[in-house]
Every structure is written in structure tokens, then in C-alpha cells.
């Protein structure tokens, strides 16, 4: 990842954290003004809030990176294994997930243990085709 990309990711993460920090500041300002909340405690809570964001950044960074594949993009073309025969519908396993699947039009029935490739996603049903042993 380039320095420019890392910088954009950090800016994106920071911008998403600002509204929460503003709301916290407003709530603490109201608490200090109307309920005699100690000012030093308010500053301490703001510092803890910011520390939380700094600590969480390495964990959440990947979610803020641009250009990653996820969701439908990650499923399309994925390889899996048939767990319930596809005649023409059944179930397949992609990684650790079990999905309802249907065969793409023109495909023959596929038995348990055979390899498949996802060609489409319709709602929560995968449209798959068998993977030939030559691939």
C-alpha cells in the first residue's frame, strides 16, 4: 500500500470519528454547564474517547481502505464444494459458510463433494456451475 493510500485511509477513518467526538463534546458541555459535572472529568473522557479511536484504527483500518473486494464482488467467481446434490438446487460450502445454490442454466446435476464456481448471486441463492477437473 502506498503512502498516499495509507494517508487517505487515515483521513477517511478520522472523518468518520468526528461526528461521535462532536456529540460527546456537546453532551459533556451540557453536563458541565447544567449538572455540575467536573471539567477535568470531561476533558478526561474526551481524551479516553480519542485514545479509543487511536487504539481501534489498526483493527478497523482495512474497513476504511478503498478498492477492496467484499460482498458480492468477493463471492462472484469463488470456488466451493457441493454438500447437498444440485439437482438443480441444493447446498454448497464456500469456506466456512453454507449457501443455498442452483445450477446455472445448461449445467448437468452435480453430486456431493464436487467442485463448483459461483457465477451469479440472486438474493441469497448462489447460481453456480461445475468446475471441470481440467481447470
Mean pLDDT score, 103-132: 89
Q: Which residue has the cell 502506498?
A: 2
pTM equals 0.50
Model confidence at 71, pLDDT cuts 50, 70, 90, reads low
The reported pLDDT for the residue numbered 103 is 92
Q: Is 128 exposed, middle or buried (0-12, 13-18, 19+ CB in 10 A)?
A: buried
The reported pLDDT for the residue numbered 32 is 93
Instruction: For CATH 2.40.50.140, list the domain ranges present in the chain.
Output: 72-130
User: Which architecture does CATH list for 72-130?
Assistant: Beta Barrel (2.40)
Mean pLDDT score, 85-101: 91
Amino acid at each position: 500500500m502506498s503512502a498516499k493510500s495509507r494517508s487517505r485511509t487515515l483521513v477517511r477513518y478520522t472523518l468518520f470519528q468526528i461526528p461521535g467526538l462532536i456529540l460527546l463534546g456537546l453532551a459533556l458541555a451540557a453536563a458541565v454547564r447544567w449538572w455540575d459535572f467536573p471539567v477535568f472529568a470531561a476533558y478526561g473522557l474526551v481524551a479516553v474517547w480519542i485514545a479509543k479511536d487511536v487504539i481501534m484504527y489498526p483493527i478497523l483500518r482495512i474497513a476504511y481502505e478503498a478498492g477492496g473486494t467484499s460482498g458480492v464482488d468477493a463471492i462472484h467467481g469463488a470456488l466451493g464444494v457441493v454438500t447437498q446434490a444440485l439437482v438443480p438446487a441444493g447446498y454448497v460450502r464456500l469456506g466456512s459458510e453454507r449457501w443455498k445454490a442452483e445450477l446455472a442454466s445448461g449445467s448437468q446435476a452435480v453430486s456431493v463433494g464436487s467442485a463448483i464456481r459461483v457465477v451469479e448471486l440472486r438474493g441469497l441463492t448462489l447460481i453456480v456451475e461445475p468446475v471441470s477437473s481440467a481447470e
